[in-house]
Each structure stands twice: as C-alpha cells, then as structure tokens.
C-alpha cells in the first residue's frame, strides 16, 4: 500500500512540474508578444514623426505658393487695360 501513495505523490509532482513549465512557456510567449508590441509602438512613433515633418514641409510649400500667387496677381494687375 505504500507504493501507490508514492506513485500518487510522484504523479502529483510531475503534474506540478508540467504546470510550472506551462506557466514558464506562457510567460516567455507573453514577453515575446510584449516586445513585438513595443517595436510596433516605436515604429508608429517614428512614422508619426515623419508625418509631422512632411506636414510642416507641405505647410511651408503652401505658404510659398500663396506668396507666388499674390505676386502673380500683382503683376497681372499692372497690365489690366
């Protein structure tokens, strides 16, 4: 009768070890996913910076075009009959 008790104890230990291994695997997987999310967030930040820079350049170009258009209006206004 002592042997079945030992076997049950060993089986219980094995189950706990398997459970611990599964938890370890889940934590490792979660860490990998978290790292991927962090990379994606960094990429979004980088792209956001590029978009902001491009928007600023577009705004400056629009201002330049507006000045050119005003200069052309003034020039054309001189030649009206």
User: How does pLDDT run across 6-17, given as a tens digit for each residue?
Assistant: 778 888 898 999
User: Model-level pTM greater than 0.85?
Assistant: no
The whole-number pLDDT of residue 47 equals 97
Domain positions in the chain: 1-81
- Reported as a pLDDT band with limits 50, 70 and 90, residue 3 is low
The whole-number pLDDT of residue 56 equals 96
Q: CA 53 → CA 40, 63, 65, distances in Å?
A: 20, 16, 18
Coil, helix or strand at residue 8: helix
User: How does pLDDT run across 35-66, given as a tens digit for each residue?
Assistant: 999 999 999 999 999 999 999 999 999 999 99
Extract the tokens encoding 67.
Answer: 């000045």
Of 46, 26, 23, nearest to 34 (Cα)? 26
The whole-number pLDDT of residue 81 equals 63
């Amino acid at each position: 009768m002592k042997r079945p008790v030992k076997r049950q104890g060993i089986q219980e230990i094995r189950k706990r070890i398997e459970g611990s291994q599964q938890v370890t695997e889940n934590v490792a997987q979660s860490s990998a996913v978290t790292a991927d999310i962090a990379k994606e967030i960094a990429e979004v930040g980088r792209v956001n910076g590029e978009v902001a820079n491009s928007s600023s350049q577009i705004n400056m170009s629009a201002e330049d075009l507006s000045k050119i258009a005003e200069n052309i209006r003034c020039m054309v206004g001189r030649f009206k009959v």
